[in-house]
Amino acid sequence: MEALLEVRDLSKAFRSGGGLPGAPQRRLQAVDRVSFTLFQGETLGLVGESGCGKSTAGRLILRLLEADGGQVLFRGRDLLKLSSRDMRPLRRDLQMIFQDPYSSLNPRMKIGDIVGEPLLIHGLAKRRELREDVTALLERVGLGAEHYDRYPHEFSGGQRQRVGIARALAVRPSLIIADEPVSALDLSIQAQVVNLLQDLQQEFGLTYLFIAHDLSVIEHISDRVAVMYLGRIVELAPAEALYHAPRHPYSEALLNAVPVPDPDRPRNRPFVKGEVPSAFDPPPGCHFHPRCPYAQDICGRERPAFVDQGNGHFAACHFSDQVGKFRTF
């Protein structure tokens, strides 16, 4: 398999406070030396709880935010080193779908113009043919010619997300970063949009970085899954291996916590105590150690290395061979 995108040691810190005299400035390491590879045509799921840095990582890759360090190699070129002029033609190749289909569409623009604008900007369509091209795109995502002249407020959440998908698709990208694309949608609509994304991937050979907090959706759509906790990737594995044999205690905790829609299955008891610590002041060593039932002295002192445990199953845990003891099913 060919690597389309290689992310190496990507890092980003935010600073807050310090505005008032005497107020201390605090530093928040949102993304902490994150590395992964995206192979051509695959879906990599990036999962974690709110504030873990998964969306920031997505934005850094597209340079919607500037990284502090690391490399983002797209077809071998480091995106982080490009000037904004050199970056512009590449933006066609790298598209994004956002979580909130209500705020990511301009309320004063017609649907046809929203989808058509990127085609004009990148010189991919002539004005005369634009209507035809856009209509074909709308039809491909399950909308129709009758929607061309309507405004976003006339659409349901699911339909708006289809518009967002058509807009991303318009410029024939090779990589789409989808940031929580279905989490604002109702169940029955979620399934439709997930299926649509999978169909489009087949048809256009797309590669997805799929960012979400819903483990069931992530497991369903992803070939491989990366789990983030407090700015770091703690585990990365093929989706089925992660589900059946997690090698990091945090992944195990997440899997245990998901309520299962089967009343005959024994109920999962939460085994992880406490809450995610503040990202301003993360615990030393392994960030998860204060909540971890496997933790020993070393976990509070040394950051565990992110190592291949075999068959492309990476985990950053000093005791990853023990993980699985608390699995509730």
Partner 1 sequence: MPPLLDVRNLMTYFFTAGGLVKAVRGVDFTIETGETLALVGESGCGKSMTALSLLRLVPEPGRIVEGQIFFAGNDLLHVPDEEMRRVRGNQIAMIFQEPMTALNPVLRIGEQIAEVLRLHKGQSPAEALETAADLLHQVGIPSPKQRIREYPHQLSGGMRQRVVIAMALACDPRLLIADEPTTALDVTIQAQIMDLLRRLKSEREMATLLITHDLGVVAENADRVAIMYNGLILEYAPVRDIFNDPRHPYTSGLLACIPKLGEKRRRLTTVNGQGAGGNSPLSFLDRCPPEFAPRQGNLPGLRETAPGHLVRRWED
Residue 118 to residue 73: CA distance in whole angstroms: 24
CA distance linking residue 312 with residue 35, whole number of Å:
14
Helix/strand/coil percent split, the chain, to 5: 35, 25, 45
276 binds partner 1 (CB under 8 A): yes
Comparing CB distances to partner 1, the nearer of 35 and 201 is 201
Of the listed pieces 93-101, 105-113, 212-220, 301-309, which binds partner 1 according to CB under 8 A? 212-220
Residue 141 interacts with partner 1 (CB under 8 A): yes or no: no
- Applying CB under 8 A, which part among 1-9, 61-69, 259-267, 300-308 lies near partner 1? 259-267
CB 155, min distance to partner 1, A: 6
**Separation CA 253–CA 242 (nearest Å):** 12
| 216 lies in the binding site for partner 1 (CB under 8 A) | yes
| 3-state SS, residue 269 | coil
The pairing of strands 232-238 and 207-212 is unpaired
Among 168, 254, 279, 317, binds partner 1 (CB under 8 A): 254
Region of 12-20, 87-95, 193-201, 295-303 interacting with partner 1 (CB under 8 A): 193-201
Amino acid at 99: Q
Minimal distance in Å, beta carbon 291 to partner 1?
9
Of 25, 83, 84, 188, the residue at the interface with partner 1 (CB under 8 A) is 188
What does the DSSP assignment read for 176-236? EEEESTTTTS-HHHHHHHHHHHHHHHHHHT-EEEEEES-HHHHHHH-SEEEEEETTEEEEE
Would you count residue 64 as binding partner 1 (CB under 8 A)? no
What residue ranges bind partner 1 (CB under 8 A)? 49-50, 142, 154-159, 186-192, 194-195, 198, 213, 215-217, 219-220, 239-240, 243-244, 253-265, 267-270, 272, 275-276
